[in-house]
Amino acid sequence: MWSMTAVTDDDKLDRETAKKVIRRSWQFARPYRRTTQAALVLVTFWTATSLAGPVIVKYGIDEGLVKKNGHALNMAVAAYVVTTIAAYFIARLQFVYINRAGEGFLRDLRVRVFDHLQRQGLSFFDREKTGVLVSRMTADIESMGELIQWGLLQFVSAGLLVVMSLALLFTLSWELTLLAMVVFPVIVVASVRFQRDSNRVYLTVRECIGNNLSALQEGISGVRVIQAFAREDEQARRFQESNQALFASHMDSIKVSMWYFGLVEFCGILATASMVGVGGYLVHRGSVSVGVVTAFVLLLGSLFDPVQQLSQLYNTVQSAGASLQKLYGILDTAPEVGEIAGAVDLPEVGEVEVHAVGFEYVPGRSVLHDVSITVGIGERLALVGPTGAGKSTLAKLMARLYDPTTGTVAFAGIDLRDATLRSLRQRVVVVPQEGFLFSGTIRDNLAIARPSASDDEIAAALASIGVLDHFLAFPEGLDTEVRERGSRLSAGERQLVALARAALVDPAVLVLDEATSNLDPGTEAEVEHALESLMLDRTVIVVAHRLSTVRRADRIAVVDHGGLLELGSHDELVALGGKYAALSAAWERNQVAAPQPTAPDGSPPVR
Amino acid sequence: MGEVVEPAQVQPAPERTPWRLLTDLLAQQQRGLIAGVVVGMCWAAAKVSIPRLIRNGIDRGIAGNESLLKWSFIIGVVGVIAGIFTAWRRWLAFRESRITESRLRERLFNHIIRLNVGYHDRAQTGQLMSRASSDLQQLQSFVVMIPLTISNLFQVVAILVLLLTSDPLLALIALAPLPLVNLSARRFSSKIHPAVMAVQNRQAALATVVEESISGVRVVKGFGAEGVQARKLLSEADQIRSVSLEAAKIRSRFLPAIDILPSLGLIGVLAVGGPRVLNGDMTIGQLVEFNSSVMLLIWPMRNIGMTLATGQRAAVALQRVQQVLSTESTVTDPLRPLALPVEGPLGALVLRDVRFGYDPERPVLDGFDVSIPAGTSVAIVGSTGSGKSTITRLMLRFYDVQSGAIEIDGCDLRSLSLNDLRHAVGVVFEDTLLFHDTVAANIAFSFPDAAQERIVSAARLAGADEFIEHLPDGYATLLGERGYSLSGGQRQRIAIARAILADPRVLILDDATSAVDPSKEHEIREAMATVMRNRTTIVIAHRPGTIALADTVLLLDGGRVAAQGTHDELLTGNARYREVLASFAELEAVVDVDVEADADATLIDQPGSDSSIPEPIGGG
């Protein structure tokens, strides 16, 4: 079977880049150099043993059979046995060595790339697609695994085999070698062309497979619409089109490979035929022995096979090179937010002070400009404004998820950039809209916030927001596996875990992003209650989406077009008659649609 | 061997053996397959003759006095034949296997898209996808082996006969290691399989850590938990290394052995045959012939082992495919479908004492009774999970009622052909699925041959014409996952245009505006009002503005009609109605959106404000 790895033009490395990638990999593989060198030495030996067979047969025929020397024949048999056994053990060893080096290399690569990824700032993750980053760490590295398991050895040994068998043939008989060299270039040229053509065809096949899969997916996930509009026949016809295109591309790929394999078969036999003819002539003339001719017939395989292997491995090696280059590209990206030398710990409590802050995600496109605001100790501030106005960005800056482009954000008078990251994360905690859980137990998910926390502390954190009993009621309690993304818990329960996580840190400042959509009704009230407990006695900055939340805030900041538009309490802002007043009035009007007994303070009832 | 079989797939043992499906398919390709086998036999004959020809070349040409040219010429000619037949045999084998795969895939697709929606609600898209992709691939890689293996077997048998007849003892010695090759190949596959699975499992575990750390990067950073994640990854990376090395150990034990074992036969030939040559019982040519013949056997022997393994995998794959194909749709055309009346006021709808539950024990609708005169409209209001959307599904016969009946213009839905029914009932769903096709084709969904004017006029009525004209290629713009992406409001207008073009006698607007930004909802409402005019319409909605479009409102509670009247009547007279509406209002009391809904231009996003900026602090 021919290799099914295809390389697009974008992935092909030029000579310079390839050299760099190889040099860098060699540096990277420093801890495994000795093992690698040992493996290379073993491969050389192994290649030699596989060539020894025909040579020994030649010796046996010439010295033993032709000269009627029984001793020489026995020697030949003994030597053959010895080399075969040696070959087995050398082969085993080389496998072990190359895998030890290779798997070690991949392990280091995984760890290093991941650590480097984690040191990137958030803007890096905003820019890069999650899927791409994940596939760098998985598919790209795994594809190299195949190369390490057998490809690399085969690549080296095939190269060595060509060189060594040519050298060997030459010493046996230069005339016959020259003869073999007539066929050899045909194989080389055919292999190179085959490699190129099959790569091209396979790229088409891959595209057709992709199209076919999306037609399939469209049909299956769109089945309700298709049936609702009685469109089954048309859809089947369209699927057939993509299926036929796929079939045709497969046929193209077979055409490419069938001629190649036919030609290789023919060349091998042709070479044998000419060996018999010309070799026989030379034997008659007395310039070579029958043994040499036999050795040639047997050795031709080891000259032609490796060329085919090399051409098939070429793509695999190329795509591994491309993967490595991408991974090194990640390692070369400088981390963004870091801790400066001589950073200080933040004090226990303090005001959050935003001073003349401006921010751009993309240089030249201002998201916030000249925003100044001070949040007092224990104050609750609601950020309000239309989508894209910059209120979430402002909240993120207050937690130093990003650094401001201009101006400063300070806690207790200390610029956040001068603070140790550790103390910063203890003072300021962000609770996102939706509770993000990691696979593992509920306990593991809390401990993310403070790995050193004891079981009692974890229980206390849950109890402090009044949800300990909820989770203890699970059959496995806090040891319940939440599964990937916490899929075993409801959205509300996930949010509870996220809140408990924040409680475990016990921060001075809480930055909240309120959910825009409803949680499951069952836990809605519980989440509401937990949130209130968590906010108690802390400075709270909440990106508010509901008027009920806004009403409960001490002060409201209306953010619009990247600037601070209005700031004050609900009553002050309503009195001001500005945008907040309009907004509040709009909500009141909406109430009319659904008359509802309202609480005396005018806030909507909590469901 | 074989894949992990999903438990859901194993339960009912299919009545027909999976192989029956394959033999039926292959019977249709008889000619191609027979040609493949015949060509393969010619190939095998050519290959088998070569060692004998080499022997003759050496013995008669080199050692004897016959013409060297003659023997090398014959070998050369056989080379040409072998080359051509190698190519031909490959071509036929691959072509036939791809034909099988391709035909079966079309059959599967045809079957799947016609299966009742109830089946699809239970089945996972991914699983059905893999039936029609990876399972068929397994099958293809087995089918390709059928003609190839037959000719390989022929080659093996021919060589065995030749060797055994020319020198039985030497043949046995030469061949002795070959069963060992086969045996170790089989033992190797059974040992390496769990090891490879272990590696894959560990890789998946690492992928989870990576995926979570990147998707949850805001949480990780927010709590400074980089160290925790780094430790997890380190442990996974270490485990991958150790299980990979386990697999490598297995490979190192077997692969070189499989490679080297045949050499033992060659040594045996030299050890036993050599003295015979010395005694004059045997020629050098014969010795070489033995050698070359043994070498010829190595590949076919390994290949047969591989075929057995792919055969087992193919059987599992076939069984899964067969299971899908043998599932009958529970919603089918009646034997003698009635025709809907074409005269008089059309679209009168009666739902009589309808009872239905996805779990028959727990009905969603129970005693649901309503009658909608032709040309009028009804809004259905009910809390989440009250069964509003279930009505849509019953109307389209995605599911059949368990008792009671639904009638359009006096015809029970079950007495109509599915095609007629689904042309008579049009739906605008909550979330519009656009297909990877042009805007025009997406609108002309129910009538692919519709004229361009009809498409444009439908779009115009739906209020979609204007934005479509502004798309890069107008009506020819490609949509869908890989095409141009539209906003929620634009998608819904396309969906409405789709419904207008279908011109159904009963229209269902199933929460058609809920995915639309409230500030844009009024635009959709106009389009909806247009399409509803003089048409029997069911509006499922929760925003008062949309509910008001209908002539009457019906409160769905406890599986039946709890109250009926105009919006205002219910609002003043029904507490439950107010409660349900209030719960929706609470859902939507979203500050920033409300401002926009109020159309207070000053607070609406400025054009050019960067919507690509990630809004939520967390989540991602």
The model's pLDDT over A334-344, given as tens digits with 9 standing for 90+, comes to 877 577 888 89
- Could you tell me what percentage of chain A is helix, strand and coil, using 3-state DSSP and rounding each to the nearest 5? 65, 10, 25
- Per mean pLDDT, which range of A109-113, A496-500, A598-602 is the poorest? A598-602
Please tell me the distance in Å from A155's CA to the nearest CA on chain B.
16
pLDDT band at A599 (very low <50, low <70, confident <90, very high): very low
Q: Residues of B with CB below 8 A from A595's CB?
A: 571, 578
Q: Where are the alpha helices (DSSP H) in A130-173?
A: 130-135, 141-146, 152-172
Range(s) within chain B of domains with CATH label 1.20.1560.10: 16-167+306-328
Whether residue B608 is predicted with pLDDT greater than 60 in this model: the reply is: no
Chain A stretch 471-490, residues whose beta carbon is closer than 8 A to a beta carbon of chain B: 484-485
Q: Residues of B with CB below 8 A from A212's CB?
A: 133
Say which of A226, A258, A505 has its CB closest to residue B90.
Answer: A258
Please tell me the distance in Å from B403's CA to the nearest CA on chain A.
22
SS3 sequence of B454-491: HHHHHHHHCCCHHHHHCCCCHHHCEECCCCECCCHHHH
Query: Helix B18-28 vs helix B284-325: angle between axes, to the nearest 10 degrees?
Result: 110
The model's pLDDT over A30-64, given as tens digits with 9 standing for 90+, comes to 899 999 899 999 999 988 888 888 788 888 888 88
Is the pTM higher than 0.90? The answer reads no
- Per mean pLDDT, which range of A140-154, A274-288, B397-411 is the poorest? A140-154
Q: Which residue of B has its CA nearest to A289?
A: B62
The model's pLDDT over B104-147, given as tens digits with 9 standing for 90+, comes to 999 999 999 999 988 988 887 888 888 898 899 889 989 999 99
**Cβ–Cβ gap A114/B230 under 8 Å:** yes
pLDDT at A337: 58
Q: In what order do the strands lie in the sheet with B425-428?
A: B425-428, B506-510, B536-540, B377-381, B552-557, B560-565
Most B-contacting residue of A387, A402, A528, A548 (CB-CB within 10 A), to test interface: A387
Chain B contact for A365, CB < 8 A? yes
Positive or negative, the Cα torsion across A65, A71, A73, A75?
negative
Please tell me the distance in Å from B519's CA to the nearest CA on chain A.
12
Please tell me the distance in Å from B278's CA to the nearest CA on chain A.
6
- Counting every residue written for chain A, the total comes to 607
- Per mean pLDDT, which range of A73-82, A258-267, B478-487 is the poorest? B478-487
Q: Which residue of B has its CA nearest to A275?
A: B72
pLDDT band at B4 (very low <50, low <70, confident <90, very high): very low
Please tell me the distance in Å from B604's CA to the nearest CA on chain A.
7
B461 neighbors B500 (Cβ within 8 angstroms): yes
Residue by residue, DSSP assigns A475-507 as TTGGG-B--GGGTTS-HHHHHHHHHHHHHHH--
Chain A stretch 183-242, residues whose beta carbon is closer than 8 A to a beta carbon of chain B: 212-232, 234-236, 239-240
Beta strands in B321-402 (DSSP E): 349-356, 365-372, 377-381
Say which of A149, A274, A290 has its CB closest to residue B62.
Answer: A290
pLDDT band at B614 (very low <50, low <70, confident <90, very high): very low
A179 neighbors A275 (Cβ within 8 angstroms): yes
- Counting every residue written for chain B, the total comes to 620
**Cβ–Cβ gap A68/B252 under 8 Å:** no
Chain B contact for A419, CB < 8 A? no
Residue A361 in 3-state DSSP?
Answer: strand
Task: Provide mean pLDDT across the span B339-366.
Answer: 89
CA dihedral (B249, B255, B256, B257) in degrees, to 10, reads 100
Chain A contact for B256, CB < 8 A? yes
Whether residue B596 is predicted with pLDDT greater than 60 in this model: the reply is: no
The model's pLDDT over A291-323, given as tens digits with 9 standing for 90+, comes to 888 888 877 877 777 887 887 788 778 888 888
Chain A contact for B599, CB < 8 A? no
Chain B stretch 399-428, residues whose beta carbon is closer than 8 A to a beta carbon of chain A: 418-419, 422-423, 425-427
Q: What percent of chain A has pLDDT over 70?
A: 93
Most A-contacting residue of B603, B611, B612 (CB-CB within 10 A), to test interface: B603
The model's pLDDT over A475-515, given as tens digits with 9 standing for 90+, comes to 898 999 887 777 788 888 888 999 999 999 999 999 998 76
Most A-contacting residue of B136, B381, B390, B617 (CB-CB within 10 A), to test interface: B617
**Cβ–Cβ gap B128/A511 under 8 Å:** no
Q: Residues of A with CB below 8 A from B133's CB?
A: 212-213, 216
**Cβ–Cβ gap A87/B260 under 8 Å:** yes
Range(s) within chain B of domains with CATH label 3.40.50.300: 349-601
CA dihedral (A88, A90, A94, A97) in degrees, to 10, reads 120
Token pair for A315: 């793509």
Q: Residues of A with CB below 8 A from B427's CB?
A: 228
A386 neighbors A565 (Cβ within 8 angstroms): no
Most A-contacting residue of B109, B242, B417, B517 (CB-CB within 10 A), to test interface: B109
Alpha-carbon distance B219 to B228, whole Å?
A: 12
What are the C-alpha distances in Å from B181 to residues A87, A428, B270, B536? 16, 66, 20, 75
- What's CA B298's distance to the chain center, in Å? 38
Q: What angle do CA B154, B159, B163 make, to 5 degrees?
A: 155
Chain B contact for A138, CB < 8 A? yes
Token pair for A467: 């949800």
Q: Residues of A with CB below 8 A from B250's CB?
A: none
B553 neighbors B570 (Cβ within 8 angstroms): yes
**Cβ–Cβ gap B275/A234 under 8 Å:** no
**Cβ–Cβ gap B256/A92 under 8 Å:** yes
Whether residue B613 is predicted with pLDDT greater than 50 in this model: the reply is: no
Find where tokens 């089989």 sit. Answer: B186
Which residue ranges form the domains of chain A, and what is each CATH number? 9-331 (1.20.1560.10), 352-593 (3.40.50.300)
**B16-167+306-328 is a CATH 1.20.1560.10 domain:** yes
- Does the interface ipTM go beyond 0.85? no
pLDDT at B487: 78
The model's pLDDT over B464-477, given as tens digits with 9 standing for 90+, comes to 888 899 888 899 99
B394 neighbors B352 (Cβ within 8 angstroms): no
**Cβ–Cβ gap B270/A277 under 8 Å:** no
Sorted by sequence, the CB contacts under 8 Å of residue B117 that are 6+ apart come out as A223, A224, A227, B331, B393, B398, B399
Find where tokens 């890989």 sit. Answer: B482
Q: Residues of B with CB below 8 A from A100's CB?
A: 245, 248
Counting one residue from chain A and one from chain B, the pairs whose CB atoms sit within 8 A come to 504
Strand partners, A37: none
Chain A contact for B171, CB < 8 A? no
The model's pLDDT over B233-244, given as tens digits with 9 standing for 90+, comes to 999 999 999 999
Strand partners, B438: B478
What are the C-alpha distances in Å from B407 to residues A105, A331, A439? 70, 67, 50
Q: Where are the alpha helices (DSSP H) in A332-467?
A: 391-398, 421-427, 442-447, 455-464
Residue B531's φ and ψ, nearest 5 degrees, are -75, -25
**B349-601 is a CATH 3.40.50.300 domain:** yes
pLDDT at B615: 31
CA dihedral (A91, A96, A100, A102) in degrees, to 10, reads 40
pLDDT band at B6 (very low <50, low <70, confident <90, very high): very low
Task: Provide mean pLDDT across the span B536-550.
Answer: 86
Closest CA to B152 of B350, B337, B307: B307
